[in-house]
Amino acid sequence: QKAANIRAVAPVAGAHQSDQSEGEGLTTDGENGAKRRMVVEVQEQASRELMEELKGERDDLLAEFDEQTDLKSKILIQGIHKVTVLGMIKYHQISHALFEEVSLHPEIRKGLEILHYHVENNLPIEKELVFKLVPELFVHEINKLGFKDRQRFKKPRISFTRADGEALEVDEVAEYVEEDESDRLFEKSMAMEMYLLEQTSDVFKMYQTKLTEEVLYGGHVSLTEYMMTLEVMDDEKKKDWERRLWSEITELRMIHADVKALQQAILERPADIVVPQFIQDPRL
């Protein structure tokens, strides 16, 4: 009789557990559905905010081409001119950041930032600002003008009369007369660095296939680990192409050391004293 009672109770308990599991399953499904709806709502909100931001940027762009705006006073810099302008801006920013003796006026830095933003985003920019910061772009246009018009684009000059009665004329800004030693050293370091980058790229392209095969099939973890192994390996154990590669790398390291030494020398070099040309006249 006890066994019969146990058999009778067992199905009831099993049914109760099954109902409880189904209830928990429904609760879990409901929670998952709420979470999914919440995720969808967040995504839709983010999408709306992004579209509003893009619409605002579009309106700002259209404002640049408003019919009331005088586009004749603006220029759109593209192609090789864009590369030139961005290169000049980068040159000024690097020289200002690295060298204490190179100090740009705050207005010039602000103008470079404005020029960089407009050129980078293909927006029209005031011709006057471009001419002030990158006058090299207008050389060919200036040369096409007549003699009188060309005179207007010359550097500002100061005329004065010496004690002996001779009239002289010098540049208003003495630094424009000729570049000083710091400028020449900086240009040399930039040229050396560009040469180093070009040579490094050529060496990598030349040995890229062999390096890839060596890392993949030579049991190396990574290219860095392989290069560390190659550095401590005896020349007798290296393959012919590995010896040639390491010779190239050694030369690149020497060039890199020369560049760093020159840059350090420029940093430690005292600022030049600029002497105007008319003061250097031996007849004074």
Q: How far apart are CA 87 and CA 80, in angstroms?
A: 10
Distances (CA, A) of 86 to 48, 51, 133, 283: 34, 30, 11, 44
State how far the alpha carbon of 68 is from the alpha carbons of 72, 114, 123, in Å: 11, 21, 17
In this predicted model, what pLDDT tens digit does every residue of 146-178 receive, in sequence order? Answer: 666 555 555 555 565 555 666 555 544 444 444
If asked whether residues 27 and 92 sit together in one domain, one would say no
| In the block, residue with structure tokens 């007549």 | 146
* Residue 94 belongs to a domain: yes
Q: Tell me the mean pLDDT in the region 247-256.
A: 88
pLDDT band at 278 (very low <50, low <70, confident <90, very high): very low
Tokens matching residue 18? 């099954």
Answer whether 71's CB lies under 8 Å from 124's CB: yes
Whether 167 maps to a domain, the answer reads no
More confident residue, 88 or 159: 88
What residue numbers bound the domain in which 7 lies? 1-68
Structural domain includes residue 274? no
Same domain as 250, residue 215: yes
Q: Are 92 and 104 in contact (CB under 8 A)?
A: yes
- Asked if 188 and 261 sit in the same domain, the reply is yes
| 271 pLDDT more than 70 | no
Contact 84, 105 (CB under 8 A): no
Residues 62 and 82 in one domain: no
One domain for residues 62 and 133: no
- The verdict on residue 175 lying in a domain is no
Examine residue 33 and state whether it is found in any structural domain, yes or no.
yes
> In the prediction, which pLDDT does 103 show?
67
The size of the chain, in residues, is: 284
Residue 212 CB contacts under 8 Å (≥ 6 apart), including other chains = none
Query: Are 100 and 57 contained in the same domain?
Result: no
Burial class (CB in 10 A: 0-12, 13-18, 19+), 203: middle
Structural domain count of the chain: 3
Q: Would residue 114 be called left, alpha or beta, if left means φ above 0 and alpha means ψ between -120 and 50 degrees? A: alpha
Query: Residue 284: inside a domain, yes or no?
Result: no
pLDDT > 90 fraction of the chain, expressed in percent and rounded: 0
Instruction: Tell me, yes or no, whether 280 lies in a domain.
Output: no
Q: CB of 207 within 8 A of CB of 241?
A: yes
Cα of first residue to Cα of last residue in the chain, in angstroms, is 136
Residues 260, 188 within the same domain: yes
91 in the same domain as 64: no
| Domain final residue, candidates 30, 46, 68 | 68
Tell me what pLDDT residue 6 has. 43
Site of tokens 């404005």: 114
Same domain, 53 and 19: yes
Whether 112 and 146 map to the same domain: the answer is yes
Q: What is the largest CA-CA distance in the chain?
A: 142
Same domain, yes or no, for 78 and 64?
Answer: no
Q: Which of 67-71, 159-163, 178-182, 184-188 is predicted least confidently?
A: 67-71
Domain annotation covers residue 238:
yes
Averaged pLDDT score across all residues of the chain: 71
Alpha-carbon torsion angle 54, 60, 62, 65, nearest 10? -150
The answer on 186 and 150 residing in a single domain is: no
Higher pLDDT, 227 or 140: 227
pLDDT of residue 152: 57
